[in-house]
Amino acid sequence: MLTNLKDQPADKILALMAAYREDPRDNKIDLGVGVYKDATGKTPVMRAVKAAEKKIWEEQDSKSYTGLAGDPAYGDAMVDLVLGSAVARGNVAAVATPGGTGAIRQGLELIKMAAPGATVWLSAPTWPNHPSIVKYLGMPMAEYRYLNDDTPTVNFDGMMEDLQGAKAGDVVLLHGCCHNPTGANLTLAQWAEVIALLQERELTPFVDIAYQGFGDGLEDDAAAVRMVASEVPECIIAASCSKNFGIYRERTGILMAISQDDALQGRAQANLAFLNRQNYSFPPDHGARIVATILNDADLKADWMAELEEIRQGMLGLREALAAELKRLSNSDRFEFLAQHRGMFSRLGATPEQVEKLRADHGIYMVGDSRLNIAGLNAQTIPVLAKAIIDCGI
Ligand code: PMP
């Protein structure tokens, strides 16, 4: 039986990580994998996470199963964090999932059950897991333009024009903030236009929010998803705690299905629980418990918010410093987008050959589409990267 299996292509980012590890140069720079790193190159455990784990270790007296939706305290805390008061809690069905990826997978499965013929529209480009999961589930898929490659800013006219081609009942996957891989984001005015189009063409938004707190702040980063949830009749939201709580390996995410028709909440909730049951029964609890412990304790929450804000400000500082250094070296404003973009990533707009040259000649590793992880930089490596970018003719 196993001989029938096809070879799977290597994951490009994991292959890049391996190549980086094997590179003997001491001045090599890793801007590849999408995890936050501090100035010393470490991905720290956040203070509040450590404190919450200690508290859980001291107080937890059972590791029996939770419910199929996970711990209700986690669900409530996350609905509050993501949605604030945008929609009544009674209209939100929510289940804990293994990471944001698990939420996306379950969200797509829910769509497949409810609207089997719906085409899922993805931004071009998007996080590669999106098309990969949609394809694996055998769902119809289409792309909408998202980026002007030359600048690289949002190609809003292209996006709107392409979404005009969607049929009623289709699903549009949108990044709630900090678009991955481009770093280019819609303004709130543009979100309002997208929402109007969704309503006019009867399209269902599926918002993926994996970086709340990494862009303009916890509240500002949630503004778009809240606007969507309060204005459209129905929407699906997948949120991840991997980045903003720094608990990548704990696999902590949440899937929400929102309907303005409160009679539907119970049915949506039962279907989400059903999907959890089919896939893994109970969702992982440890990360969810850490998050709930932090969000339900005023001191821990304040400390978490303070550390998250330091992380965000640090990344903004790196963006500004890199843009300024490139302005100095190139004598132009063509890299100003780096300071305007938000989140952990930006796409430089380099060719695959230039990306390869950065790696071969300078030991600088980034994803082949020229996505760079801003958090992989520090004060010492910014001038090195800027000089290499200019040397490679980018
Ligand atoms: N969505 C996007 C756009 C992402 O970049 C990520 C993380 N790379 C996720 C979802 C989910 O991440 P995780 O499964 O690790 O929570």
pLDDT tens-place string over residues 123-156: 999 999 999 999 999 999 999 999 998 889 999 9
Residue 264 DSSP one-character state: G
Q: Which residue's CA is the closest to the ligand 1 atom numbered 2? A: 210
Q: Considering the chain, what is the average pLDDT of its residues?
A: 96
At residue 262, the pLDDT reads: 82
Contact predicate 104/238, CB 8 Å? yes
> CATH 3.40.640.10 region(s) of the chain?
65-296
Using the mean position of ligand 1's atoms as its centre, give its distance from the Cα of residue 315 in Å.
18
Query: What average pLDDT score do residues 200-227 get?
Result: 98
pLDDT value for 182: 96
Which tens digits make up the pLDDT trace of 59-96? 999 999 999 999 999 999 999 999 999 999 999 999 99
User: What pLDDT does residue 114 have?
Assistant: 97
Can 150 be counted among the known catalytic residues?
no
96 three-state secondary structure? strand
The CATH number corresponding to 11-46+306-391 among 3.40.718.10, 3.90.1150.10, 3.40.50.150, 2.160.20.70 equals 3.90.1150.10
Answer whether residue 33 shows pLDDT above 90: no
Residue of higher predicted confidence among 9 and 97: 97
Q: Is 256 helix (H, G, I), strand (E, B) or coil?
A: strand
Whether 243 is a known active-site residue: answer yes
- The two tokens of residue 156 are 């809003």
Classify 340 as helix, strand or coil.
helix
Q: Is the pLDDT of residue 361 over 90?
A: yes
Residue with CA closest to ligand 1 atom 7: 210
Catalytic residue among 77, 170, 243, 321: 243
Looking from the CA of residue 99, the nearest atom of ligand 1 is 16
Task: Please tell me the predicted confidence (pLDDT) of residue 14.
Answer: 85
pLDDT at 149: 84
Q: Which residue intervals of the chain bear CATH 3.90.1150.10? A: 11-46+306-391
Q: Is 65-296 assigned to CATH 3.40.640.10? A: yes
- Judged against a pLDDT cut of 90, whether residue 211 lies above it is answered with yes
Give yes or no for residue 3 having a pLDDT over 90.
yes
How far is the C-alpha of 104 from the C-alpha of 237, rounded, in Å?
Answer: 8
What is the spatial distance between Cα 107 and Cα 234, in angstroms, rounded to a whole number? 13
Catalytic residue among 30, 162, 208, 285: 208
Find the catalytic residue in 48, 77, 210, 222.
210
Q: Whose CA is nearest to atom 8 of ligand 1?
A: 34
Neighbours of 199 (CB within 10 A): 12
Q: 297 — phi, psi (to 5°)?
A: -125, 115
